[in-house]
Structure 1
Amino acid sequence: MSPRLQGRTALITGSTSNIGRAIALAYGDAGAHVIVSGRDDARGEAVVSRIRETGGRADYVHADLDGTAAAGRALADAATDRLGGRIDILVNNAGIYPAATTPTTDEETFDRVYGVNVKAPFFLTQAVVPGMISAGGGVIINLGSWIARLGIPVGALYSSTKGAMETLTRAWAAEFSAHGIRVNAISPGVILTPDPDPAVEHPAEAMMRGTPAGRSGHPDAIAAAAVYLASDDAAFVHGTVIDVDGGRTGVAVVADAGSSHR
């Protein structure tokens, strides 16, 4: 077990699968007492068991973050109670990605996506920050997305919510820095679920052609960045968005015909 987060407490939303799960496991391995949260109780308890099996500390709190302030407050209170009175690290990871295009998005879908992706982390942060201020500081990590800054012909609604989260990252860094709270974000590239079938190319893989990585990423890559941002190694990092995207937003690779980076 690594000591980078030893003695810290952490709440990670949407941590029953994929990126959130990877962050929870990495935090547990780094010594943090982790609150795994989400809507799937069975998967949540499985993540907790995995952390405990390797000597870590973890608990599960059911949460359905619909965007209401009441839901955010309920999760903050439950997590604070399980963690012994304080939350040192908050990771706003939970989000939903609708398949609808702009012409086919109805008002209900629009409100639901903004409720989960923007309002929920806003009001959860609102509920958690006073405790961090009382404790003398804390860390907030938001999850953005590469398509918040590189336009693609699908996902306009989702990308706009991630743009909002990246903007909130900078605004919160300015607002809370005087209280010892660091706020940063991670912008993942195309991240597929762990252990995909190697014989079947996922449609999203095509979006990583022409990048230095030339392939999709693994959730562990995002988890490694999350451990760094939560640790003292990132003490001088404020209000930034770390791109963990295989070079998708920053680099164009012109490959020869035999390259796997096409």
Structure 2
Amino acid sequence: MEQRFEGRTALVTGSTSGIGAEVARALAAEGALVVVSGRRAELGAAVVAKIEAEGGRAVFVPADLSAGGAAVRELADATLAAVGGRLDILVNNAALLLQPRPTGEVDEETLDAAYAISVKSAFQLTGALVPAMAERGDGVVVNMGSISGSIGMGGSALYSMTKAAVHSLTKSWAAEYGPRGVRVNAVAPGPTATEGQADNAHLIAPLLATAPDRRMGRLEEVAAAVVFLAGDGATHIHGAILPVDGGLAAV
């Protein structure tokens, strides 16, 4: 059976756990050589081991994207070195996990960290890696947005702010890079069954009760959307924010 990404390379930021790890696994299952990236080497090694056990190819490149600047540049350089100089797919997935809290209780350190990881690193990494895609006229960027980037949720102002910025960047980059052969889109998950959501079940339940399918999303459902947008079946899609939320944003 032909694999969609045979011979292609991908970087997935924040892919040592949760949605990012599942996206890395899904891309590798379709033949891509995947760069797994994050702060914790032991988690990264586990993701790579799982991918290899399933017959895929992956390497781990450590990165602390909260550091910005030089750290992002180092990740870009190390990624290109790991994949032989050509990157085909960039998935800007890294984000700071935030528990809901009132705006007045968000300290400046948390505010800066959320912006640095979720917005600034995606901006800088795209600036470092995507011009080469545009120069050769081929490449894909998939950003990880969120339902909270489009609708208001009490206690989620900071997270919503960062995801709204990701949605805006997606459209701006589609306008900037699309005419040069690079497709830029985003996936916007709703509540998804990740490790980090276990403590929020009581907050999520009332929200899910209003969604058409009345349940949390699964990791593989979000990853499938990323795979679709990265693949050749989505060649006429630019600047889209694809919801994977059980219809929650629609209603």
The TM-score bracket by the shorter chain reads over 0.9
Residues 122-201 of structure 1 mapped to structure 2, 5 A cutoff: 122-193=123-194, 201=201
What is the deviation of 1:40?
A: 1.2
What do the CA deviations read for 1:219-251 (whole angstroms, capped 9, x no partner)? 111100000001000000000000000100003
Moved more, 130-139 or 161-170: 130-139
What is the deviation of 1:51?
A: 1.0
SS in 1 for 2:106: coil
Given that 1:15 and 1:93 are in contact with CA atoms closer than 8 Å, whether structure 2 keeps it comes out as yes
What do the CA deviations read for 1:71-94 (whole angstroms, capped 9, x no partner)? 211101101100011110000001
Which residue is 1:231 aligned to?
231
The alignment-based identity, stated in percent, is 47
Distance (Å, rounded) in 2 between the aligned partners of 1:24 and 1:211: 28
Which residue is 2:248 aligned to?
248
Given that 1:183 and 1:239 are in contact with CA atoms closer than 8 Å, whether structure 2 keeps it comes out as yes
Distance (Å, rounded) in 1 between the aligned partners of 2:118 and 2:140: 19
Given that 1:221 and 1:244 are in contact with CA atoms closer than 8 Å, whether structure 2 keeps it comes out as yes
- Ranges in structure 2 where 5+ consecutive residues have no aligned partner: none
Tell me whether 1:65 sits opposite 2:65 in the alignment: yes
Which residue is 1:103 aligned to?
104
Distance (Å, rounded) in 2 between the aligned partners of 1:97 and 1:59: 24
Specify whether residues 150 and 2 from structure 1 end up closer, same or farther in structure 2 by C-alpha distance, changes over 3 A only: farther
Which residue is 1:43 aligned to?
43
Residues 84-123 of structure 1 mapped to structure 2, 5 A cutoff: 84-99=84-99, 100-123=101-124
Distance (Å, rounded) in 1 between the aligned partners of 2:68 and 2:237: 30
Distance (Å, rounded) in 2 between the aligned partners of 1:130 and 1:69: 17
What do the CA deviations read for 1:163-190 (whole angstroms, capped 9, x no partner)? 0000000000000112210000000000
Distance (Å, rounded) in 2 between the aligned partners of 1:226 and 1:53: 22
Which residue is 1:257 aligned to?
none
SS in 1 for 2:104: coil
Which residue is 1:204 aligned to?
204
SS in 2 for 1:66: helix
What is the deviation of 1:140?
A: 0.4
Distance (Å, rounded) in 1 between the aligned partners of 2:79 and 2:226: 19
What is the deviation of 1:136?
A: 2.4
SS in 1 for 2:65: coil
How many residue pairs get aligned? The number is: 248
| Higher normalized helix content (fraction of residues) | 2
Which residue is 1:259 aligned to?
none
Which residue is 1:260 aligned to?
none
Q: TM-score, normalised by structure 1?
A: 0.90
- Ranges in structure 1 where 5+ consecutive residues have no aligned partner: 252-262
Distance (Å, rounded) in 2 between the aligned partners of 1:49 and 1:8: 20
Moved more, 233-242 or 49-58: 49-58
Question: Which amino acid in structure 1 is aligned with residue 163 of structure 2?
Answer: K
Distance (Å, rounded) in 1 between the aligned partners of 2:172 and 2:21: 27
Distance (Å, rounded) in 2 between the aligned partners of 1:208 and 1:121: 29
Distance (Å, rounded) in 1 between the aligned partners of 2:102 and 2:209: 23
Which residue is 2:12 aligned to?
12
Given that 1:67 and 1:119 are in contact with CA atoms closer than 8 Å, whether structure 2 keeps it comes out as no
Given that 1:173 and 1:184 are in contact with CA atoms closer than 8 Å, whether structure 2 keeps it comes out as yes
Question: Which amino acid in structure 2 is aligned with residue 232 of structure 1?
Answer: D
Question: Which amino acid in structure 2 is aligned with residue 147 of structure 1?
Answer: S
Given that 1:67 and 1:123 are in contact with CA atoms closer than 8 Å, whether structure 2 keeps it comes out as no
4+ residue runs over 4 A deviation: none
What do the CA deviations read for 1:178-223 (whole angstroms, capped 9, x no partner)? 22100000000000227x98xx955323321121110111111110
